[in-house]
Amino acid sequence: MSTITTAVVDLDLTGPTISRHVYGHFAEHLGRCIYGGFWVGEDSATPNVRGIRSDVVEALKDLRIPNLRWPGGCFADDYHWRDGIGPRDQRPRMVNSHWGDVVEDNSFGTHEFMDLCELLGADPYVSGNVGSGTVQEMSDWVEYLTRGDDSPMAALRRANGRDEPWKVPFWGLGNEAWGCGGNLRAEQFASLARQYATYSRNHGGNDLYRIAAGANADDYHWTETLMRSFDDLSREPGEKPGPFQGLSIHYYTMSGTWSDKGSATEFSTDEWYATMVAARRMDELLTRHSTVMDRYDPHGKVGLVVDEWGTWWNVEPGTNPGFLYQQNTLRDALVASVHFDAFHAHAGRVVMANIAQTVNVLQAMLLTDPESGALVLTPTYHVFAMNAAHQDAASLAVHLRDVPVRETAGAQLPLVSASASVKDDAALISLSNLDAEAGRTVVLDLRGRGVAGHSARVLTAGTANAHNTPDAPAAVAPRAHDGVRAHERGLEVDLPAHSYVTVSLDLS
């Protein structure tokens, strides 16, 4: 008989707001993410708007995509923005040395990206070049994008066809400065971040939220060094920190090693559990980085941005190893749900997160088939869709009791993960069963407010490695869940093996 787990939720005791921006996305010039994913060109037979693929835009709008990070990633610190403006047939070519060593023609540049964000209704998050760029280059890019008068860069933008400036709320100061962004020491980068932030100016009504390239996984020294570089953070809570406002961390989930990450679709039960242990590590990372930040920033002024996260497997056989194309299974979906539980739990510090990446790369939302042109929604896409009501809702603590635990490679893996939020008279509870083999029952002990009605959805499949293809696009897709019953404490919810369930509550 399976263990019954209790989840206590006080519906009237709200915590910090879950920023919609933790549901952000990432699009790098890597493999078929931009070219063949977002961008097909105006002459393509694939339906498009000014060269941007229409079905991709509509699918992402359905997720309420809040922001999009571009142009990288490692690519950002090789990217010189002036190469991507002006007539496309006159733009210089460049070598994408990080990803496949291919030559690209810069046909997708600043104007195309900003057009994409406007079509999506998403805020742009632009990553500036610290690694191989200059302070002047970054300063000019901000002016080009956001200034509205007759300044030199504003005039250049108008000459290239855009009269009004854009709104750019998020600005990245480099990427992975500890690695592909310059192989810098933390102390070196902290000084550069202050300098580049100073010259990334606010123009007109555009107020930049500057994000310094932060730590690799558990490099707490990097976070501490950046925190030490801030101006006095002990002043009144309402004052904006300077010279930048946020810092990032990157963490990827895998069950193997960097040299052999394992297959995206062919994995053992042990590899499933090892993956879930790795995914749940995100909560530990957020806790420890936040502890470092709290020491210097007791008022929580500085935001933590997880602007690269997700699974990383070996590429699909027969594809370019530099393009990082991998399939996306139910296992990836559960990795995503566990990450969102962590982001929700740390809503007071985590202001943004960006899954890597949006189309055709790593843990993608969407896959486009180069032969048939078909668009496939991945299992991870469905987790984002099922979680949409968490965006900008108040977080609710979920106290789990009697959670079954599995020992995996010396680690203790709790087999149920959960989070909840409330907005107005509606609440959403997300439940993940990480048991690859057995179903579970969870009692929702609902307190503080009455429940007038409920509905539920479930995402699962017959096998843990189920995934969607052009021939079977709905092999893993959400459906209405009838495994929810009234209980004296609230509701009783059945969680099938390897499943994700959301329960929506109408509150009275």
Q: Are residues 381 and 436 in the same domain?
A: no
Query: Residues 65, 143, 53, CA angle at the centre, nearest 5°?
Result: 35
Length of the chain in residues, anyone? 508
Neighbours of 173 (CB within 10 A): 29
Residue-wise pLDDT tens digits, 343-357: 999 999 999 999 999
The residue among 274, 312, 261, 284 whose CA lies nearest residue 413 is 274
Whether 272 and 347 share a structural domain? yes
Q: Which of 28, 104, 112, 176 is catalytic?
A: 176
In a shared domain, residues 159 and 260: yes
Average pLDDT over residues 282-300: 96
Same domain, 433 and 363: no
275 in helix, strand or coil? helix
Total domain count for the chain?
2
Residues 229-282 pLDDT 10s: 998 777 666 678 889 999 999 999 999 899 999 999 999 999 999 999 999 999
pLDDT above 70 coverage of the chain, percent: 99
Digit-coded pLDDT (tens) for 405-441: 999 878 999 999 999 999 999 999 999 999 999 999 9
Same domain, 245 and 309: yes
Choosing from 392, 411, 435, the residue where a domain stops is 392
pLDDT value at 391 more than 90: yes
pLDDT of residue 344: 98
* Percent with pLDDT over 90 in the chain: 95
* Domain end call among 392, 421, 436: 392
Report strand pairing: 24-26 vs 350-356. parallel
8 Å CB contact between 378 and 364 = yes
| Domain region containing 488 | 4-11+396-507
Of 352, 360, 262, 351, nearest to 312 by C-alpha is 262
> For residues 437 and 272, is the Cβ–Cβ distance under 8 A?
no
**If you average pLDDT over residues 383-392, what whole number do you get?**
98
Q: Is 316 part of the annotated catalytic residue set? A: no
308 is catalytic: yes
Higher pLDDT, 336 or 371: 336
Tens digit of pLDDT for each residue in 199-218?
Answer: 999 999 999 999 999 999 99
Do residues 225 and 339 both lie within one domain? yes
Secondary structure class of 129 (helix, strand, coil) = coil
Q: Is the same domain home to 227 and 284?
A: yes
Which of the residues 104, 112, 271, 308 is marked catalytic?
Answer: 308
Mean pLDDT of the chain: 96
pLDDT at 145 over 90: yes
Q: Which of 373, 392, 411 is the last residue before a domain boundary?
A: 392
Closest to 166 measured CA to CA, from 176, 178, 153: 153
Task: Find the CATH number of the domain harbouring 438.
Answer: 2.60.40.1180
Q: What's the CATH code of the domain at 173?
A: 3.20.20.80
Residues 367 and 410 in one domain: no
* 160 and 84 in a common domain: yes
Q: What angle do CA 296, 350, 201 make, to 5 degrees?
A: 75
**Quick one: 384 and 407 in the same domain?**
no
Instruction: Mark whether 327 and 267 lie in a shared domain.
Output: yes
pLDDT for 237 equals 66
Tell me the average pLDDT across 299-323: 96
- State the pLDDT at residue 1: 39
Burial class (CB in 10 A: 0-12, 13-18, 19+), 14: middle
